[in-house]
Structure 1
Amino acid sequence: MALALPDDGSMLLGNARVHRSHLVTPVGPADAEGFHRVTLDIRAGRVHAIRRYDPAAVDERIDLAGRVVFPAFVDCHTHLDKGHIWPRQPNPDGSFGAALSAVAADADARWSAADLYARMTFALRTAYAYGSKAIRTHIDSHTPQAAISWPVFETVRTEWSGRIDLQGVSLISIEEVRDEAAFTALARRVANAGGTLGAVTYMVDDLDALLDTVFRTALDHALHLDFHADESGDPNAVSLRKIAEAALRHGFDGKIMVGHCCSIASQHEDDAASTLELVRQAEISVVTLPMCNLYLQDRRSNGTTPRWRGVTLVHEMAALGIPVAIASDNTRDPFYAYGDLDMLEVYRMGTRILHLDHPVGDWPASVAGVPARMMGLDDAGFIAPGTTADFIVFKGRSFGEVMSRAESDRVVLRNGRPVSARLPDYSELDALMEV
């Protein structure tokens, strides 16, 4: 049965299931999956109160009949500038190397301001309809692309203010940091745009020196850091450890997020454990990208089956108190041919790939509250009195139900009002796909 909700930003939603990981303060007992059955009192677009559900209470509640309610999603690692180019620039063999070449060719030929604006806006319309409230995107920032892409990012961020909190991260290879003058100029651009400084790290002879430059520059410009690291199955790829050592060496007190970290899953357990202890000490947060890494990692050209999943040690990290988030990564581009910035799909796939169930634990927070804290967002990722009433009301009444269907009939609430936005049609991008 369709759920009809008022459009005035005020309502009582009774008999809702909210997971403990999404609540700042528990409300009554939780069931075996960690859900609290509550009534959400929403007034003028904000959460006024959360009460333990009392079926005998006499009020004007809307009965959700036990539906699961999530806070709006937070997607902390995406590539909006690459998104949706697959139809015009596919990856011929699905490999990482071919993806790099394909994206570089497309960027050189097609990444004008108009092209970027159209594809980024399409992506945000999609994410908004699915229920995302905040997104961090990496922005290819080599010369001359940075001069095109960052102004587009700033325009789009302004236009989407109030609907999606958009953050930007510079993306260059660690070897580009050798040109310190150019890197300093990029850091100034990033700082002026209110962005985050980032780079792709991998094993080069001068990695320690290059990381020292990154950390010094971030400190000089009061910037947070966000790295891609060790996106391979090579056990000798240890740039995550190098990043942690550099953070401790420089006494860095800003936020550090590191994505991928695949290779640590191939390392000896003692080596991996010592690296994770340094990550914990350096207060680094990690984001795993299960769909893209499953797609790219261990892809073979000889017709044999991949032997590993290509994801990082999320359970070991969580056990140490290292914050771990799950995010979308690439969408319909040479790095990942699929995806639609639907964080429910990401969480469902992550649960299957990473075994984030039996028990569910606090993993639901990995697509909401945990990435919100990583991104420095105060009013996102949790449901608590005083927070904005930005929710997703699913039809499913348990994890088993929510995780088994696409929930295409979910109801997205923003400021306590149902969102009427619908998914944009791919045909809207057809003109951009003409070769």
Structure 2
Amino acid sequence: MEHYWLINASIPVSLLRNVPDAWLQAANAEHLVRLHVQIQGETIAAVTPILPTDGLAQIDLRGGQLWPCFVDLHTHLDKGHIWPRAMNPDGTFGQAIATVQTDAQAHWRAEDLYRRMDFGLQCSYAHGTQAIRTHLDSWGEQATVSWAVFQQLRAEWADRITLQAVSLVSLDKYAGVEGEMLADLVATAGGILGGVAYPHPDLAAQIDRLLALASERGLDLDFHVDETEDTAAIALSLVAKAALRHHFSGQIVCGHCCSLAMQPPAQVQATIADVQAAGIGIVSLPQCNLYLQGRLPGQTPRWRGVTLIHELAQAGIPVALASDNCRDPFHAFGDHDVLEVFSQAVKIAHLDHPIAAWCPSVTAIPAQLMGLAHRGQIGVGLPADLIGFKGRGFSELLARSQHDRLVIRAGKRIATALPDYSVLDDLMA
């Protein structure tokens, strides 16, 4: 059984469970506190500011930061890594949709999905992610294929990454018998019901239908909403009002919510109040939305594409940050590294005064929204799933890639070598 100390760790106070007042007073200007963490077996056995002298083995972090492992709340593993064969011709949202549809019809059989999704999981694991929620395109017969692959991977990765899946279709697909069949498939697979709330004259009724299907089956909900700068896009408001009207008891997460940043203040305040009252969690995808939003050929983008992260959090709404798409027509870049997501979000959305307050957005908050107790925090009795970085302060942490990070899972140091892109070459031919 593993039994050792991680000494001289700088830990963001926001990531500690049950923080004594003395530790708060000892924290530096960046809200980091120097502590020593004892690992025994798969668990954190002690956290103390007193340097241990008990003779146990020690790993000296030399003031580098120590975080709990990441929780990535919003991904698209089924789309991942198709860029070499499915490049977005102009980088726009519309072309992203069309290009993915063409690629899916031509290639998304079980082996293709399995290998690309597994590749993404290997990257995530090496970077220090412990839990992932992925959306799965679930139209027609594709649903059966994709959900079967997901369930296989969930079982194979169960000892390393907790996997959840959400059905992804436009909300009109939930009408009639087909909608019930898809909801039943999701329920049987232990998934989350979801979809894209595109503007539609009957959008409110479509949302009501989805809430009813979820309530009947005891499912949580996860929506793509308002991924546009169009101020007329109000799906977030409609979801919140529907949740209140139906007294929905499950957890709802809404992703993107971009148009909220473009709407008049009074409308924003009303929507945020409804979201808070409905207990909805928000996930912002800053890298993907920066890539897609405000894109016009030959023109410099005028806005950053992110939702009102600060205002939502100030209202007491849980706000998470996540990866979204990786090397596909919706986002040509990314490597399933949640530290990169966090680093870019800090710069894009000015999450830097103080940065430490936002660390839970990629750890404890998404864990809470996924229903994963005891994840995303550091404390006695919690799982020893940790990441050690050489970066001491936040400027050091976010200035370099931290590719040489220490990843500890269930108390043991893991290999962090990333899979080579060439293993997917035959799929890209």
- Fold in common (TM above 0.5): yes
Q: Is contact 1:256-1:284 (8 Å) kept?
A: yes
The structure that is helix-richer by fraction is 2
Once the two structures are superposed, residues 318-345 of structure 1 have per-residue CA deviations (whole angstroms, 9 ceiling, x without a partner) of 1000000000000000000000100010
Instruction: Report the CA distance between 1:217 and its aligned residue.
Output: 0.5
Once residues 54 and 380 of structure 2 are traced to their aligned partners in structure 1, the CA distance between those partners, rounded to angstroms, is 22
- Measure, in 2, the Cα distance between the counterparts of 1:273 and 1:361: 26
Q: 5 Å matches for 1:202-351? A: 202-301=198-297, 303-351=298-346
AA aligned to 2:338 is: M
Query: Cα distance, 1:75 vs. partner?
Result: 0.3
The one-letter amino acid paired with 2:111 is A
For this pair of structures, how many residues does the alignment match? 424
2:168 maps to 171
C-alpha distance in 2 between matches for 1:268 and 1:202: 21
- Which residue in 1 is equivalent to 2:8? 15
Matched residue type, 2:45: H
1 CA distance for matches of 2:309 and 2:2? 38
Aligned match for 2:121, one of 121, 124, 131: 124
Say if 1:271 and 1:361 are closer, same or farther in 2 by CA, change over 3 A: farther
Task: Give secondary structure in 1 for the equivalent of 2:399.
Answer: coil
Query: Aligned AA for 1:239?
Result: A
Find the aligned partners of 1:58 and 1:47 in 2 and give their Cα distance: 16
| Aligned-residue CA RMSD (Å) | 1.1
Picking from 359, 381, 389, the partner of 1:386 is 381
Deviation, 1:175, is 2.2
What corresponds to 2:62 in structure 1? Answer: 65
Name the SS for the 2:272 alignment partner.
helix
State how far apart, in whole Å, the 1-side matches of 2:290 and 2:91 are: 11
Percent of matched pairs sharing the same residue: 49
AA of the residue aligned to 1:13: L
SS at match of 1:62: strand
Task: Say whether the 8 Å CA contact 1:197–1:226 is kept in structure 2.
Answer: yes
| Alpha-carbon offset, residue 379 of structure 1 | 3.1
Q: Is the 8 A contact 1:229 1:261 kept in 2?
A: yes
Distance 1:258 1:156 in 2: 25
Q: Distance in 1 between matches of 2:50 and 2:376?
A: 22
- Unpaired runs of at least 5, structure 1: 1-7
Aligned amino acid, residue 396 of structure 1 = G
Deviation sequence 1:58-107 (CA, Å, 0-9, x none): 65443321110010000000000000001001100000000000000000
Alpha-carbon distance between aligned partners in 2 of 1:266 and 1:9, rounded to the nearest angstrom: 52
Counterpart of 1:114, as a letter, is: E
- Distance in 2 (CA, whole Å) between partners of 1:268 and 1:203 is 19
Structure 2 counterpart of 1:44, one-letter code: G
What is aligned with 2:390? 395
1:176 CA drift (Å): 1.7
Are 2:407 and 2:416, in contact at CA under 8 Å, matched by a contact in 1?
no
Alignment equivalent of 1:143, drawn from 125, 140, 156? 140
**Aligned mates of 2:259, 2:206 — CA distance in 1:** 20
8 A Cα contact 1:318 1:324, kept in partner: yes
Q: Distance in 1 between matches of 2:5 and 2:354?
A: 31
Q: Once the 2 structures are TM-superposed, how far is the Cα of residue 421 of structure 1 from its aligned partner?
A: 4.0
| Equivalence for 2:418 | 423
**Residue 155 of structure 2: which of 155, 158, 161 is its match?**
158
Contact 1:26 1:36 in 2 (8 A): no
Of 109, 113, 118, the residue aligned with 1:112 is 109
Residue among 393, 398, 404 paired with 2:399: 404
Question: Are the equivalent residues in 1 in contact too, given 2:78–2:137 (CA < 8 A)?
Answer: yes
Structure 2: which 5+ runs fail to align?
none
Alpha-carbon separation, structure 1, partners of 2:323 and 2:121: 13
Judge conservation of contact 2:12–2:356 (CA < 8 Å) in 1: no
Deviation at residue 358 of structure 1 after TM alignment:
2.1
Supply the distance in 2 between the matched residues of 1:258 and 1:351 (Cα, whole angstroms).
20
Instruction: Please name the residue that 1:4 is paired with.
Output: none
Alpha-carbon distance in structure 2 between the residues aligned to 1:422 and 1:65:
23
Secondary structure (helix, strand or coil) at the match of 1:392 reads: strand
